[in-house]
Structure 1
Amino acid sequence: MRDVWLAILRRYALLFAALLLVIAADIAVNITPPLVLQYLVDHLADGAIAEETLLLVALLYFALCAAGGLVDTLKETGITVLGQKITHGLRSAMCQRLSRLPADFFVQHESGALSSRFINDVDTLESLFDSGVVSMIADACTILAILAVVSQISGGLGILLVIALPLLFLLTRYFQRRMRQAQLDNRAAVAKTSALIPETVDNIRTIHLCQQERYMAERCRVSLKQSFAAMERSNFCDSIYSPIIICNCTAIICLMMALSVSSSAMQALFGMTVGSVVALIAYVRRIFTPLESIGMEIQNIQSAIAGIDRLREFFAAPLESLPPAAASPSPAEQQLPLVIEHVSFGYGKGPSLFRDFSLTVREGETVTLAGRTGVGKTTLFKLILGLYAPRTGNIRICGLDPRAIPAEKRRPICCCVEQGFTAIDGSVRDQITLRDARVTEAAVQEALALTGMAEVCAQLPQGLATPFCPALFSQGQRQLLGIARAIALNPRLLLLDEITANLDALTERQIIRALQAASKDRAVLSISHRLYEASGGKIITLS
């Protein structure tokens, strides 16, 4: 993850440098007004200032105060822009990495928890810059600058502040640790809640049938309660931190005034004049204002650190190991749509689902896989699609390792039709083209004609431009759209994963006829006994 951060910071190095200059200007402008005020009060007390000079000094004071507000606004704007740029770069890096993660990662991590990393955890990083680490650095620099100026005006007050600030720093560290743990607990609870929502929605019918509403509600309630408890701990620490800072500010001012009049030695140490008293009180308040702000910034920083910890886990996940680049396949290899040679595979460290399995599917041939549930039929499809790497053996699609086929070349080579139709946002045409510019209108019409869906789509209110809605089509018609999507770019290999499951006999016969038309002159590997019976192909039994 460090490489990602360095790349993002290098990309926005100029913006970061400009922000540092604005922060420096903000500090300079904000520590100057008390000095002007000291000069003004001291000379007014002595009566040794001309009216013209008094007016100019007063105008300078108000000008510096106004400039301080303008520079502070510019600083906050720069911090916000930098935060947005960095979080945009981080999300872009995460999206690039997402496409390279192995299928095992998505099996081990629920979709809700993964989306929480992209949305909630990255959002916390924006606050890291908006009102977090950058603001905290600016406040720390302001404190150091004020300490330097105060020490020049009053050595005694400088000593008091040097004694008080380490104690306040230790107090800050204590609250920091408490709030960080609370934020970590909250992020974990939010991720758990995010994972429960899609799980509940996906299984809502089963939950109702089994009367498990109370069980699911209790699971959600526990996660929400954990989140609320963590946030309450964090808010409690934040709520008592600011009052402590304000009380210390008042105590130091009172102690300064009391010590400065206690003896002549103390008066000499504190070096008090009317103007310096006014300036020092202003500086004490100014030095505690950033400390008070740090109390709020700590909470944002700890929330961001909790998010960074979870993002670090995402970036630490091993990427898919792609096979080394191989030489271009020979013409003989390219003519064979699918070759499986002595393949063995098992999930993780579990037992092998099949050992030394070999299969060749030629152009125009239909092969059906048979076997009991759990024998590995669908797993074999995942291997062919390149989602997993075999433990031993080789798989070649048109002479190429499926994991090494570029994404833009996969669809014209191999397509898979699953049991359920997965829709995307858009029109009916988009369901077939997947917004792929290579799929022409003629190819769409041909695919619909082969699957028998051309007339159905023509009767829609806006034809193929009709916004897709599941209610427009029956389950069987959605499966036919899935077949049309698969054959739109005329792939050489077609994989059919139990697509006639859970369909009535009439709809099943319609799909079988569509598959027979779509399977002509291409290799087909299927998990469908009906298609085997209708096509007269061969059957391979896995055991």
Structure 2
Amino acid sequence: MFRYFETRIDFTKRPPEESPPDNLWGFYWHFIAQAKGLFIALFALGFVLAVVEALIPWLIGRLVNALSHTSPEGIFREAGPLLVAMGAIILVVRPLGTILFRLLVNHSLAVSFTTMVHWQNYWHVVRQPLGFFQEDFAGRIANRVLQTGRPLRETVLSVARAVWQILIFGAASIGLLATQDWRLALPMTGWFLLYTTLLAVSLPRIQKRSRASSEARSAVTGKVVDSFTNIMTVKLFGRRKDEDDYISEGYRRLNDSFMSQQRINTLYVAGLTVLNAVFLVSTGAVAVWLFSGSRIDAGTMTTALLLSTQIVSMSGWVAFEVMGIFENVGTVQEGMKTISRPLTMQDRPAARPLVVTRGEIRFDHVSFSYGDGDKVIDRLRLTIRPGEKIGLVGRSGVGKTTLVNLLLRFFEPQEGRILIDAQDIADIQEESLRGQISVVTQDTSLLHRSIRENILYGRPQASDEAMHEAARQAHAVEFIERLVDGRGRRGFDAHVGERGVKLSGGQRQRIAIARVILKDAPILILDEATSALDSEVEAAIQESLSTLMEGKTVIAIAHRLSTLQLMDRLIVMDDTRIVEEGTHAELLENGGLYAGLWSRQSGGFLAPRRGVPDEAV
């Protein structure tokens, strides 16, 4: 039975292609529609249970009348059908409905529906372009992805189990009392009107302050994760007090926003408490007055008092559920800021896989700028022949890394196009494009997984033998075999820590090179690939890279010009465009910009281009 309800939602199925809408109702419906049958069943059961709850006091009132008008020995003869009906409702209908309701909530919606929302939030956000993640804290993005599922679910469940049920219960109660004497229904009708007014006044304020609390919580999560991720920098600079002040300010704002929210909650509960007290007294007074004038019998008076007591009892529970609804809505609204942003730079409808037959790359009048800033690349034209190995040279900020990022489609040019074997990469499937390009960067980041998993990330289907051979070619086997992590895992099974923090920069770089060797893509990009290595290891790696580069089209970026001497051609960039090109010897002979750079450098680094931040290179 459990398994049946637990398998009603398949959270692993491919999510809808369209982005979750950025309006609240549309956002909710985007997920609810995928399990609407279960939610319809939930509200139907809620309706039945609410009517049953209203019938029980009414049946008790009828029983009181029967007992007051029947002798003890004739009670079963006169009230037999009534007792049977009460027994059936209390022993069968109510327990069965409650059990089915809990099965739907606990086993179909509380787990699988929430997991589905989490999974689809991740699936959508992870497909955003690189710039999306560069604009925000990783911790805040993760918090919004992970925190939205539970409040979204709880909002709908609270409506089903509280608001919906008290509405049905109240309507049924008013109807039952009105059939006995219309004046009995007046206090309850007035209570509902005042209760609705209290909600209308309080809940928008609760929602607004809940959204502010959620935003403050996401902000402080982002700050804490940022601090932990950069813990080495925090400790190296001895700025613990400044960091404490920075984080505590976030917690202060979070505390203040929660305090503000709780003030409204307290005022809401205080108003409801007074309203309930007046309602109980007025219902009792009307019932006793009608009974004293023989306008209603004892059973009807009992029903009225029982229904009123039950409404008051439910209202406290419903009050907290309703407050929870609006707190959860605020959290969902805050999460929508990240999750509902439309996907950009996605594959075109007719996008096709990239077919690399020769490896020619052509930049055709390409222009690009970051946002509204100055152009980093301006109408650049460059053709890289099949199998050619070129080096990109220039100061930081002239657009070398930007050119590579455009080739990888992390960004799209504002003008021009980029072609690989005469195929415009704008018409190519993103995954296919990057599958044909291997990249080794200066700032190597590893996944917090085992060495084996990190290397196999280049080609998951590769054999263990191929993985070990790639590590050997990257001169990484020796240090890998000595590794032991905190849980006793050794060698290739040892985990490397977040972003590979347990390894040195040179070790991370060798793992990254092994991963690229295993991938064996026809186009290779080396962005300061050996900058983190010592001279002896670099010399050995250069030998491996020479083997790796055979038969491939290669683009290499290096500030140490000595590492580019073996390239077929050097491309010198300055002021958004190419200013020189040729072999190392030719450029030295020409006596131009490259010769000047070479003369000022002996294994050092080039000065950045004025006015361009390093991160925009």
TM over 0.5: yes
CA contact (8 A) 1:367 1:532 kept: no
- Check the 8 A contact 1:132/1:300 in 2, yes or no: no
Per-residue CA distance 1:90-137 (angstroms, 9 max, x = gap): 333323322432333222222111111111233221221343465322
Counterpart in 1 of 2:208?
181
- Is the alpha carbon distance of 1:330 and 1:111 closer, same or farther for their aligned partners in structure 2, counting shifts above 3 Å? closer
Give the CA deviation at 1:187: 0.7
1:224 counterpart = 2:251: yes
CA shift at 1:234, angstroms? 2.8
2:148 to 101, 121, 133: 121
- The equivalences for 1:67-466 within 5 A come to 67-80=93-106, 81-132=108-159, 135-242=162-269, 244-260=271-287, 267=293, 271-322=295-346, 324=348, 334-406=357-429, 409-410=432-433, 412-434=435-457, 436-457=459-480, 465-466=492-493
Deviation string 1:264-285 (CA, Å, 9 cap, x unpaired) is 9x947xx432111111111112
Q: SS at the partner of 1:131?
A: helix
Query: Displacement, 1:315?
Result: 4.5
1:64 and 2:89 correspond: yes
**Partner SS, residue 229 of structure 1:** helix
**Are 1:483 and 2:518 matched, yes or no?**
no
SS at 2:570 equivalent: strand
Greater fraction helix:
1
Q: For 1:392 and 1:458, locate their aligned partners in 2 and report how far apart those are by CA, in whole Å.
A: 49
2:607 matched to which residue of 1? Answer: none
Q: Displacement of 1:509 after TM fit?
A: 2.6
Whether the aligned pair in 1 keeps the contact of 2:351 and 2:428 (CA below 8 Å) is no
The residue number in structure 1 matching 2:528 is 498
Give the CA deviation at 1:183. Answer: 0.6
Separation of aligned partners in 2, 1:330 and 1:254: 78
1:11-38 Cα deviation digits (max 9, x unpaired): 3232223223311221232111112211
Secondary structure at the counterpart of residue 526 of structure 1: strand
**Alpha-carbon displacement from aligned partner over 1:160-181 (angstroms, at most 9, x marks no partner):** 2222321121112222122112
In structure 1, what is the equivalent of residue 68 of structure 2? 45
CA separation in 2, counterparts of 1:301 and 1:526?
Answer: 55
Counterpart Cα distance in 1 of 2:333 and 2:362: 44
Which range is displaced more, 119-128 or 180-189? 119-128
- Give 5+ residue unaligned stretches, structure 1: none
On the 8 A contact 1:338/1:395 being kept in 2, the answer is yes
| Corresponding residue SS for 1:12 | helix
Aligned CA distance change for structure 1 residues 353 and 278 (closer, same or farther; 3 Å): same
| Secondary structure, counterpart of 1:495 in structure 2 | strand
Cα distance 1:443–1:337, how it changes in 2: closer, same or farther (>3 A)?
Answer: farther
Opposite residue 315 of structure 2, the aligned amino acid is: L
Q: Secondary structure at the match of 1:368?
A: strand
Aligned to 2:578: none
Shift of 1:225: 2.0
Measured in 2, the distance between the counterparts of 1:217 and 1:457 equals: 37
- Secondary structure of 1:245's partner? helix
For 1:240 and 1:312, the matched residues in 2 are separated by 29
* TM-score where L is the length of structure 2: 0.79
Q: Measure how far apart 1:455 and its partner are.
A: 4.9
Cα distance in structure 1, aligned partners of 2:381 and 2:245: 49
Identity of aligned residues (%): 20
TM-score, normalisation: structure 1: 0.89
SS of the aligned residue for 1:416 comes to: strand
Q: Is this contact kept in 2: 1:249–1:285, CA < 8 A? A: no
Indicate the residue corresponding to 1:35 in structure 2.
58
Give the aligned partner of residue 22 of structure 1: 45
Q: Distance in 1 between matches of 2:439 and 2:274?
A: 69
Q: Distance in 1 between matches of 2:501 and 2:137?
A: 28
Amino acid of the residue matched to residue 534 of structure 2?
Answer: D
Q: Secondary structure at the match of 1:109?
A: coil
